[in-house]
Chain A
Amino acid sequence: MLEYIVSKYNFWVYVILLLIGLYAMVGKKNLVKKLIGMNIFQSAVILFYVSIGVKKGGATVPIFLGDAHAAHGHGHAIINVASYINPLPHVLMLTAIVVSIATTGVALAVLILIFRRYKTLELDEIMKIRKDTGV
C-alpha cells in the first residue's frame, strides 16, 4: 500500500492541495479567504500540468543547447527528444498563470466594491444586511 502511494506521490500532493483550495472556496465565509482558496486551487492545477512534462533520465530545460545559429544554418540538426523535457505543459501553464492573475485582479476589485457598500467581507453578515434592508 505504501509503495503504491509513493510510486505516484506527486498526484497525491496535487489532490490534497486541490482539496484544500476547494474547501476554502466552499466552507469559508470570508470572501478574501474564498479568493485565496481559488488561488490555491489554481496552483494545484498548474503544478499538476508542469509535473506531467517531466522526463527522467538526464532531460534538461527545453532550451536548445549548443550553437543555435550553426545548427539552424545547416538545417537538419539532430535533436534527441529524450534530452529535453516536454515544453507544451510549460506553455499552457504560462497562459494559465496569466489568466489566474487576471481573475484575481478582477475579483479583488469586486471585493473592494462589496466592502464599500456593505462595510464587511463576511458572507453571512452581507446576506443578513441584504435580508434586513431588502437591497
Chain B
Amino acid sequence: MKVIAILIIVLTGALLISGVEDMPDWGDPNSPANSHVSPKYIQEALEKTATPNMVTAVLGDYRGYDTMGETAVIFTAGIGCILMLRKKRKGEGD
C-alpha cells in the first residue's frame, strides 16, 4: 500500500516538475492567460455590464449559465445530504 502510494507520488511529481519549466514566469503581464481573453473582460466589463467589479461582471453576466449550473450543483449536494442523513421512519428498512 505505502510502496504503491510513494511510487504514484514520485511518478506524478516527476511529470508535474517536468511541466514547470514550460510555465510562464511569476506575474508576467504578457503570459498567455493574461493576454488572450481577459483584456477584453477588463476593458469592456464596465461599459457593457455597468458593474465596477470585474469578477462579479464575469460571474453574473458573461458566464451566467455557468453560475446557474453551479447553483444546480449546490442544490443537488444539499438534497443528497438531506436524503442521506434524515431520520428513517419505522419500517422503512435500513
Contacts and interface: CB of A to CB of B under 8 A. Distances in A.
Specify the main secondary structure of chain A where it touches its partner: helix
Contact of A56 (B21, B29, B43, B81): B29
B26 A54 contact: yes
B57 to A, nearest CB: 8
A77 interface: yes
B25 A94 contact: no
Contacts of A77: 46-47
A11 B23 CA distance: 8
B29 A57 contact: yes
B49 to A, nearest CB: 9
A68 B53 CA distance: 10
B55 A8 contact: no
Contacts of A8: 20-21, 23, 25-26
Contacts of A87: 38, 41-42, 45, 54-55, 57-58
Interface of A: 4, 7-12, 15, 18-19, 22-23, 26-27, 29, 51-57, 59, 62-64, 68, 71-72, 75-77, 79, 81-82, 84, 86-91, 94-95, 98-99, 102-103, 105-106, 109-110, 112-113
8 contacts: A15-B16, A19-B9, A23-B9, A27-B6, A51-B26, A71-B46, A82-B29, A91-B63
